Structures are given as C-alpha cells and as structure tokens.
Amino acid sequence: MHELATAFSTQSNLLTPIITGIANGSAYGLLGLGLVLLYKSNRIFNFAQGEFATIAAIVAYVFDHGTGFVPKLPYFVAIALGILAATLTAMATERLVIRPLFHRPRVVLVVATIGVALFLIGVEGMLPYPQTASLRTISDVLNVQSYVFRVDNVVVLDQDLAKFLALVLLAIAAFLFFRYTPTGTAILAVSQDATAARVVGISVERISMTTWAIAGLLGGVAGVLLAVPPSGSVTPGSLTGLTLTVAFSAAVLGGMTSLPGAFVGGLGIGLIESFANADHSFVPGLNSLPTAQAEVAVAVVLLVVLLVRPRGLLGKEA
C-alpha cells in the first residue's frame, strides 16, 4: 500500500525542477561545448576537460584571495587569469601529449587524455592552497542582492543566469566560428582529411594548437562559472568525477558533432536529472524511488540515444 499522493503544486513539482534543471544543464552544456569542439575536430573524447575547468577555478580563486606570495588582484582580473591558465594548460597538453601521438589510433589519444586528467588532479591536489575553491559570485563582488528575479516565488540566482547566458552566447559564437571564419573552416578541413588540408596550405600543427586553446578557453569559462556557491565549489577531480560523465551524456544527446547540440543536450540532461530527482509524491506509487534515480535516468538516455540515434539530436553523423 502506498501513502496517499500529495497534491500537485506548480511551484515545487514544475517550476523548481525546471529552474534547477536549466542551471545544472547549463553547467553540463558549458563543459559539453569543449568536449564537442574536440570531438568535432579530432574525433576524440577529452577526459581532461573537467580539469581544465578546475584549473581556471583554482587559479581565479587563488588570485582573488591572494595567498602566500600570490598577490590579491581585482576580481575580474583574477577570473581572466584563471581562464588564461586553463587555455595555457590546454595548449601545453596539445604540445606535450597530443602532438607526439598525432598519428596513433584515437583510443591511444583518449587514454592519454585520461592520463592528463589524472596528472592535473594530482598536481592541483599537491599545491599549497585550500583544497576547495569556491569563487565569489558577481552579486557578492558588486554588493547587490543575490537574486535577479523570481518566477512564481521561485528565486532565480544570478550565477545560474550567468551560466545559462554564457552557454547561449558561447554556443552561438562557436557555431558562427565554425560556419564563417577561415580558422573554423580550416579546423573542420583538418578533421576531415589532414593530408588534404596540408596540401592546400593549412598548418595542421597550428590548427591543432588553436583547437586545443579554444577548448581550454571554453573549459576555463565553464570552470569559473561552475565554482560559485551555493551549487558549486571545485576540488581537484570533482568536475572529472561528478560532472564530466554527465556532460559527456549531454554532448552525446545533443550530437557530439554539433555545438548548438551541446546547448540542447546540456539543458535536456539537466532537466531530465532534476525531474528525476524532484518530489514525485504527487504521483501514486512513485513516492519511494530507489536511490541514484537521476544517474540511472541519464544512463538510460545515453544508452537509448547511442542505440537508436547515435548522431544525437542535432549531430550530422554517428
């Protein structure tokens, strides 16, 4: 016998999950953008993307607070330095790890990115600073109230709105970049046929470096946006262990080859998760779901997409 179903409420059964879902989904989308970029250009899964983001958050945190010999810098300078650090890390990864493996099977590259992720987690963990990097929100910095508006008494936090807007802008920018700029076209050309691209005068090495730099930049932006309270603080490995798998599922749902797909997939997975986690007691019989229902839901979506439509919602090919 099940308990009596409670009444359905628009606020707690619909609005709150939607807003949470969009906020979390934006995070998955932001990480997913970098994953899609590298899959689109190199046909690899980059397991180090989560740590690119973590590095940005940590560097921004250290410069914002100023510990030890590190000077305390203005908030926005610290954020910029964090993103720069992520970009440089990605470029170093390309030069030291990816380029020597350029002509190896892609599975070797994927294993190598796992190695990079492990290495970065280890290095971050051994640095002498507090292990939990939690950045101030923009409203904290500007000393204003920490919400922008309410929808039917549900508060929309400015940091969640920032994530969403950043995701929209970056997805559009990346889409336009690939569609209209010479560099973007060159990246696609190299991904289709590196030798042919070289023949028409494209430097494959420079393109590879550019791609990874952009991936690092996207990861960095994701990192500084994800490391804000209350939902986010970043510790070494936390983004890789918890967020990256879901971000991969989001990217697969949207289509690994589609940058707008990262946006669609991110929000889709975010919403699926939040509705799976939400209060189901208004549905008779669903008031005692097993644990980890959000994780199971995401896994089911991933499997169904891969089995039924491997190219995802917006992707071009499998």
Judged by the rule CB under 8 A, the positions of this chain that interact with another protein are 43-45, 97, 100-101, 103-108, 110-112, 114-119, 121-126, 236-237, 240-242, 245, 248-249, 252, 290-292, 295-296, 298-299, 302-303, 306-307, 310, 318
Smallest separation, CB 112 to another protein (Å): 5
Cβ proximity to another protein: between 33 and 154 the closer is 33
Cβ proximity to another protein: between 65 and 99 the closer is 99
C-alpha to C-alpha distance for 51 and 34, rounded to whole angstroms: 12
Smallest separation, CB 136 to another protein (Å): 26
Smallest separation, CB 256 to another protein (Å): 9
| φ and ψ of 151, to 5 deg | -110, 110
Cβ proximity to another protein: between 118 and 188 the closer is 118
188, 178 contact by CB (below 8 A): yes
| φ and ψ of 191, to 5 deg | -65, -30
Cβ proximity to another protein: between 144 and 242 the closer is 242
Smallest separation, CB 276 to another protein (Å): 12
List the one residue out of 258, 228, 253, 226 whose CA is nearest residue 240.
226
- State the number of CA atoms in the 13 A half-sphere of 217 facing the CB: 11
Smallest separation, CB 25 to another protein (Å): 18
**Helices (H), ranges, 127-203:** 138-142, 158-180, 182-192, 194-199
Which residues lie across from 155 on neighbouring strands?
A: 150
Cβ proximity to another protein: between 43 and 179 the closer is 43
C-alpha to C-alpha distance for 296 and 191, rounded to whole angstroms: 34
Cβ proximity to another protein: between 240 and 274 the closer is 240
List the one residue out of 84, 75, 67 whose CA is nearest residue 129.
67
Smallest separation, CB 8 to another protein (Å): 27
Q: Which amino acid is at 179?
A: R
